[in-house]
């Protein structure tokens, strides 16, 4: 196990290097000059050029990238051009909010998706099964931004139950988490249903029923625990994906997270902040994949790592 985890951690290094290079090059292809935005539209070309030299933007792109990597080795992600503070500080301030939103969205998606998928498989062909299928298709098909506006119109404007934007209380978290979790709930429900249907037709499940075991024991202990591996994979990937997908929920609901910070950085052409933010999200996604893989061994004793 320890050797497997160490090998996976070492494999994360080239992945993050590739991500960092792609992001580093991509942000410099965005139209707009950070030096011009800092100096102002009325500034002379000489002032803009001086700022460009101070920021090192006049150097070859490979030279800039090497300097960026040198900073990474010491834990320095650079200084934000817009906030004038270390990128690490800005990201560390916003990261708890993004993690809170991603965890809440994943929890909602897992609870609704797994429960709906199990009921749909157990009562296959019933009205409950049809409702669960329609719900899962709707969750996967509806655009997140449209769903966010729909939730605001219903729960904030018409009913007045929940705030439409901001942060600070658990009520502010409900609508962004629902928006984020609806898509994941649909995917998890469909996968849980298909996995459960496959397991419920297995011989050992029929044998358990023939022994006279209670239905809930057969479903939970014999069926669900055998079908949980692919479901855990999707839940883990959804959590990692929510770190980046939260951009719509954070923007619409004015939630102060990392994804929204990256959007603001793009609008301000804040290269260091964009690079640092995307790299953090990539690191979080790869780390979550590792955690999910390790969980397999605990969920299924037949799985061994070498």
pLDDT in tens, 96-125: 888 888 889 889 988 988 888 888 888 887
Output the pTM of the full model: 0.80
Q: Under 8 Å CB-to-CB from 305, ≥6 apart: which residues?
A: 1, 3, 4, 297
Tallying the residues shown for the chain, one arrives at 306
Cα–Cα dist 278/246, whole Å: 13
Q: Under 8 Å CB-to-CB from 218, ≥6 apart: which residues?
A: 205, 208, 209
The residues facing 287 across adjacent strands are none
Domain boundaries, the chain: 96-271
Split at pLDDT 50, 70, 90, the class of 297 is low
Nearest to 35 by CA among 64, 66, 60, 56: 56
Q: Residue 1 has what pLDDT?
A: 65
Cα–Cα dist 144/142, whole Å: 6
Among 39-53, 126-140, 244-258, the range scoring the smallest mean pLDDT is 39-53
Distances (CA, A) of 39 to 36, 101, 163, 227: 5, 36, 38, 59
Cα–Cα dist 236/290, whole Å: 10
Cα–Cα dist 276/8, whole Å: 22
Split at pLDDT 50, 70, 90, the class of 303 is low
Q: Residue 305 has what pLDDT?
A: 54
**What is the overall mean pLDDT for the chain?**
82
Average the pLDDT over 140-145 and give the result: 80
Cα–Cα dist 147/136, whole Å: 14
Instruction: Count other Cβ atoms within 10 Å, centred on residue 281.
Output: 23
Q: Under 8 Å CB-to-CB from 72, ≥6 apart: which residues?
A: 20
Q: Under 8 Å CB-to-CB from 88, ≥6 apart: which residues?
A: 75, 76, 77, 276
Among 78-82, 222-226, 257-261, the range scoring the smallest mean pLDDT is 222-226
Split at pLDDT 50, 70, 90, the class of 29 is confident
Pick one of 1.10.540.10, 3.30.420.40, 1.10.3720.10, 1.10.357.10 as the CATH number of 96-271: 1.10.3720.10
Is residue 295 packed enough to be buried (19+ CB in 10 Å), middle (13-18) or exposed (0-12)? middle
Q: Residue 302 has what pLDDT?
A: 60
Residue carrying the six token digits 């009205």? 127
Average the pLDDT over 169-180 and give the result: 87
Cα–Cα dist 19/165, whole Å: 32
């Amino acid at each position: 196990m320890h050797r497997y985890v160490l090998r996976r951690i070492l494999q994360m290094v080239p992945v993050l290097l590739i991500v960092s290079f792609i992001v580093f090059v991509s942000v410099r292809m965005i139209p707009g000059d950070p030096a011009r935005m800092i100096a102002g539209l009325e500034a002379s070309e000489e002032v803009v050029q001086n700022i460009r030299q101070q920021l090192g933007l006049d150097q070859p792109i490979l030279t800039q990238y090497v300097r960026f990597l040198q900073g990474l080795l010491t834990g320095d992600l650079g200084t934000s051009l817009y906030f004038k503070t270390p990128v690490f500080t800005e990201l560390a301030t916003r990261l708890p909010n993004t993690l809170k939103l991603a965890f809440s969205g994943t929890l909602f998606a897992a609870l609704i998706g797994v429960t709906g998928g199990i009921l749909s498989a157990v009562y296959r062909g019933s009205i409950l099964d049809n409702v669960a299928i329609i719900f899962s298709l709707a969750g996967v098909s509806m655009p997140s931004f449209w769903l966010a506006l729909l939730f605001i119109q219903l729960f904030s404007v018409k009913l007045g139950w929940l705030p439409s934007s901001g942060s600070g209380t658990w009520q502010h978290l409900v609508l962004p988490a629902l928006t984020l979790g609806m898509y994941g709930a649909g995917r998890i429900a469909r996968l849980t249903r298909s996995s459960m249907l496959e397991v419920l037709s297995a011989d050992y499940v029929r044998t358990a029923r023939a022994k006279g075991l209670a239905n809930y024991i057969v479903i939970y202990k014999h069926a669900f625990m055998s079908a949980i591996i692919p479901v855990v994979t999707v839940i883990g990937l959804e959590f990692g994906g929510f770190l980046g997908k939260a951009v719509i929920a954070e923007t619409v609901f004015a939630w102060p997270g990392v994804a929204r910070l990256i959007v603001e950085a793009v609008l301000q052409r804040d290269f260091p902040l964009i690079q640092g933010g995307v790299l953090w999200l990539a690191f979080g996604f790869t780390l979550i994949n590792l955690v999910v893989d390790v969980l397999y061994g605990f969920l299924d004793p037949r799985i061994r790592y070498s």
